[in-house]
A = this chain, B = another copy of it.
Amino acid sequence: MHQHKVRVYYEDTDAGGIVYYANYLKFMERARTEWLRELGYEQDTLMEQSVAFVVKRVEMHNYAPARFNQLLSIETHVVELKGASMTFQQIIKNEQDIKLVSGDIQVVCVDLATMKAKRLPRTLLGEISRVI
């Protein structure tokens, strides 16, 4: 299971004193990017090959708020892999290992020129199927 740390800065919080709800999706996207990087794939290189990822579906549950200056930990793993899409389960925890937020995120591989779905690059598909 992949883990990525995120610090909560002022920019992430709102006047309620907690992390603004949309920003958890930013944290999860950072974690997916780092997960992909550890598999050996840089998204700027993929974009040069006209390969990009678009989020198709989000299901997020917020159990407890994250607060300014906390160091969060995001666990990421793939729970479903199809030819042109994959679904991640991601869990955000605080330093006391309490689950704050969970997300199921379905991501579709698209051709950057047309934005139409296409199969994941063969080698990447192979890499991912090895780790799930």
Interface of A with B (CB < 8 Å)? 7, 9-11, 13-18, 20-23, 25-26, 29-30, 33, 42-44, 47, 52, 54-62, 65, 67-69, 112, 115
Identical chains in the assembly: 4
Contact B69–A65 (Cβ < 8 Å): no
Contact A69–B56 (Cβ < 8 Å): no
* A9 contact set on B, CB distance < 8 A: 26, 29-30, 33
Contact A43–B14 (Cβ < 8 Å): no
- 20 interchain pairs (CB within 8 A)? A7-B33, A10-B15, A10-B43, A11-B14, A11-B20, A11-B29, A16-B54, A18-B115, A21-B58, A22-B22, A22-B26, A22-B29, A25-B25, A33-B69, A44-B67, A56-B61, A56-B62, A57-B60, A57-B61, A58-B59
Contact B11–A26 (Cβ < 8 Å): yes
Distance in angstroms from A40 CB to nearest chain B CB is 14
Q: Which 9 A-B pairs have the closest CB atoms?
A: A22-B25, A13-B15, A44-B69, A21-B55, A58-B60, A15-B68, A22-B22, A11-B26, A10-B14
